[in-house]
């Protein structure tokens, strides 16, 4: 980063710095990326079901019927949001900035053109618009949300608070982890739902499709997903390659 700063200062239209004092330094070794861990579809449904049932909430006494109804609606929306994250690969900030005008249920796609970062809504991370196809689970989740009766105009947030405002990412993460613990699921970050989407799609698709699906600007980022989980066809391919060399212990003893 320091080298990039000095490199910017070398431009004629900035400060015309003659040399970059950081360019000759050695880059510090970075730890390799951690192993991708994510939830399988059945675990996603367990998580969403737990959120929908409100099993992660405390039930204080004296709550009015109206408050109970409002909380049930919030829990149902959280469940659908978790499904959308897990089955579309949207970043959390992209999902929170999603408006109904970006959702094309008949065309089965969502248009990702905004994101929330540090509580500020702006362009996506890659500064690009992308079109994400909707499989049945996220399509059905959005269809159910569309039937809520309010805050469904083009400019309304798909995932909103009680008065229509944008959800808070920090609060969402807390509710997610509470639901995850209540469901008895292992620790996976909320961003891990995006990892899961990429890894699951990579089992059935080529790298280019995964890159566009997740909105990666570099193929090197996508490659991580291509090797996250072994596929059956990979094992079959290796068995065909090594089949003639395979010798069972019993057969080896017989030869001796």
At 249 the pLDDT is 59
Decide: 125 and 116 in contact? Cβ < 8 Å: no
At 182 the pLDDT is 97
The whole-number average pLDDT for the span 15-37 is 86
Q: What percent of the chain has pLDDT over 90?
A: 72
Would you say residue 98 has pLDDT above 60? yes
Boundaries of every domain in the chain: 1-26, 41-226
The CATH architecture of the domain made up of 41-226 is Orthogonal Bundle (1.10)
Angle at 206 between CA 222 and CA 106, to 5 degrees: 95
Q: How many CB atoms lie within 10 A of CB 243?
A: 8
At 246 the pLDDT is 53
Q: What is the pLDDT of residues 231-248, one digit of tens each?
A: 777 888 888 889 866 555
At 224 the pLDDT is 86
- Report the candidate in 97, 103, 57, 53 with the shortest Cα–Cα distance to residue 79: 53
Q: What is the pLDDT of residues 176-191, one digit of tens each?
A: 999 999 999 999 999 9
């Amino acid at each position: 980063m320091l080298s990039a700063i000095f490199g910017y200062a070398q431009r004629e239209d900035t400060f015309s710095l003659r040399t970059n004092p950081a360019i000759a330094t050695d880059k510090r070794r970075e730890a390799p990326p951690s192993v991708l861990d994510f939830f399988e579809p059945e675990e996603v449904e367990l998580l969403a079901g737990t959120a929908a049932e409100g099993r992660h909430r405390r039930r204080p006494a004296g709550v009015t019927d109206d408050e109970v109804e409002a909380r049930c609606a919030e829990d149902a929306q959280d469940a659908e949001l978790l499904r959308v994250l897990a089955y579309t690969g949207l970043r959390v900030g992209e999902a929170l900035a999603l408006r109904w005008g970006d959702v094309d249920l008949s065309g089965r796609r969502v248009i990702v053109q905004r994101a929330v970062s540090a509580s500020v809504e702006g362009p996506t991370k890659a500064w690009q618009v992308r079109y994400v196809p909707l499989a049945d689970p996220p399509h059905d989740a959005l269809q159910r949300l569309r039937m809520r009766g309010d805050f469904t105009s083009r400019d309304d947030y798909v995932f909103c608070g009680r008065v229509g405002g944008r959800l808070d990412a920090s609060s969402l993460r807390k509710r997610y982890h509470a639901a995850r613990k209540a469901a008895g699921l292992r620790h996976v970050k909320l961003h891990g739902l995006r990892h899961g989407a990429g890894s699951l799609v990579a089992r059935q698709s080529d790298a280019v499709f995964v890159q566009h699906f997740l909105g990666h600007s570099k193929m090197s980022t996508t490659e991580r997903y291509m090797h996250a989980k072994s596929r059956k066809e990979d094992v079959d391919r290796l068995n065909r390659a090594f089949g003639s060399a395979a010798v069972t212990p019993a057969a080896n003893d017989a030869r001796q």
